[in-house]
């Protein structure tokens, strides 16, 4: 059952359940104003839940003027085409590097199969094209002006070259996607890097500092809700991203396998932040770091 919660002024978190393949929740945000904005449509499976449960949640989806995925990885933007085709009044705001892949998602589908397997649609649903007429190609610093708030687009590479973040003037909150790491359910105050390949650690750290300088009061994460101590969360995300890089690079030089790397990372977190084991799904981020260091040689 989908749930809706007001997490900041005129800002609603839509909890649409856990993804069966990743084992982490997919969440969307609805911003209510003179028109509505949907941030993070999620996968097609998630987007279809939103459409079917909208009446139960009391949502008027016909009022949505903008759909904004922070990036087009399947668990964040895979359902964009599905929603756009059902909501023809909505404009889809995309990073320039994402546009071609949303108009013709064939390469995006191919890449998703490489990461999640041939049967990825069983968990995520199909990736459908976005009608070109509905696309708004974003520019760095572009402002979407609504009656009560302004949404500023910030290019945020590192996790993905096509990643954007959205700064909201009303709540002083930042919709950060995975540009500031990811909060796992068992680690609510310790963001760990989201580093699915292709990943660029150097750009990731630069983006974190860029977003820190915006001084957000809230961080709206895409998988596990809202963080209120933004300065501390960003600092921990930076520390963890750099430390994970050092640990993984050392392990690779020592010839250690991926399972040993995951054990090393868990030991690091236990000694520094929290008694917790990293979930197996985090192995995808290990692959991203390995790919990054391999390509740097």
* Topology (CATH level 3) of domain 3-171: Metallo-beta-lactamase; Chain A (3.60.15)
Q: What was the pLDDT predicted at 215?
A: 98
Q: Is 17 helix (H, G, I), strand (E, B) or coil?
A: strand
d(CA 165, CA 176): 5
Mean of pLDDT over the chain: 93
CB atoms near residue 7 (< 10 Å) = 17
> Per residue in 146-170, pLDDT tens?
999 999 999 999 999 999 999 999 9
pTM given for the model: 0.95
* CB neighbour class for 57 (10 Å; exposed up to 12, middle 13-18, buried from 19): middle
Residue 277 scores a pLDDT above 90: no
Nearest Cα neighbor of 238 from 226, 227, 246, 228 is 246
CB 35 within 8 A of CB 64: yes
Q: Is 22 helix (H, G, I), strand (E, B) or coil?
A: coil
Spell out the domain ranges in the chain. Answer: 3-171
């Amino acid at each position: 059952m989908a749930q809706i919660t007001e997490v900041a002024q005129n800002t609603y978190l839509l909890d649409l359940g856990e993804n069966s393949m990743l084992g982490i929740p997919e969440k969307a945000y609805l911003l209510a104003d003179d028109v509505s904005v949907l941030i993070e449509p999620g996968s097609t499976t998630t987007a279809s839940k939103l459409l079917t449960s909208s009446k139960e949640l009391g949502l008027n989806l016909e009022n949505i003027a903008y759909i904004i995925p922070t990036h087009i990885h399947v668990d964040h933007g895979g359902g964009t085409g599905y929603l756009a085709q059902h909501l023809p009044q909505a404009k889809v705001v995309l990073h320039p590097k994402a546009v071609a892949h949303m108009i013709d998602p064939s390469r995006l589908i191919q890449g998703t199969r490489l990461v999640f397997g041939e049967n990825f649609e069983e968990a995520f649903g199909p990736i459908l094209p976005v009608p070109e007429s509905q696309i708004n190609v974003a520019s760095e610093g572009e402002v979407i002006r609504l009656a009560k708030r302004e949404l500023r687009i910030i290019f945020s590479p590192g996790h993905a070259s096509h990643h954007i973040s959205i700064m909201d003037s009303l709540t002083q909150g930042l919709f950060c996607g995975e540009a500031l790491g990811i909060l796992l359910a068992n680690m609510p105050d310790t963001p760990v890097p989201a580093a699915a390949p292709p990943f660029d650690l150097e750009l990731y750290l630069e983006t974190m500092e860029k977003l820190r300088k915006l001084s957000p009061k809230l961080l709206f994460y895409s998988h596990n809700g809202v963080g209120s101590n933004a300065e501390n969360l960003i600092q921990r995300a930076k520390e963890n991203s750099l430390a994970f890089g050092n640990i993984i690079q050392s392990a690779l030089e020592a010839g250690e396998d991926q399972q040993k790397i995951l054990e090393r990372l868990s030991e690091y977190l236990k000694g520094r932040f929290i008694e917790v084991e990293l979930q197996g799904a985090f192995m995808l981020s290990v692959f991203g770091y390995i790919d990054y260091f391999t390509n740097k040689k």
